[in-house]
Amino acid sequence: MVAEWVVRCKASEEAIAFCDLIAEQAACLFAVRDAELFVLAVHEAVVNAVKAVRQAGLGEGTVSLSFSVADGEVTVEVEDDGSGIPKETMKQLDGKTLADVVLAESGRGLLLIHEIMDAMAFVERAGRRVLVMKMQRVQHRPF
């Protein structure tokens, strides 16, 4: 691992804006293959995390965003104090594509992340589900 950043903040609209700024800086600094899509995927993940905290009724809940950088990829982990994505929701999304839900009221975020990032998974950690996303870095060639 080359570097790791961890940001933890109160789950709020300000947290979403702050995480957007951090994602923009990480995308540029670590030269991901598509900076705009990387920021969009992180944004969607943080919005979902803030919603999860609100739905759990945790006024003082937090969202954690961590970036780790290796030679070939950037890994982003998003964790919140909410109760995680219900297994029923996960089953409903299984096998669907973004085109299937493009006009739906909700449910596009995870499919969008899945389409944008090179890898996406949920990892159980201390009884909580953490979203882990990866995007390849641009390979710089010498002049």
Q: How far apart are CA 20 and CA 46, in angstroms?
A: 9
| Two tokens, residue 107 | 């449910």
Lookup result for tokens 């029923």: 88
Would you call 113 helix, strand, or coil by DSSP?
A: helix
Adjacency order of strands within the sheet including 128-136:
3-10, 62-69, 73-80, 128-136, 119-125
The neighbouring-strand residues paired with 3 are 69
| Amino acid type, 54 | R
pLDDT in tens, the chain (143 residues): 677 889 999 999 999 999 999 999 999 999 999 999 999 999 999 999 998 888 888 777 899 999 999 879 999 999 988 776 766 666 666 666 666 666 566 667 888 898 899 999 988 888 778 999 999 999 754 43
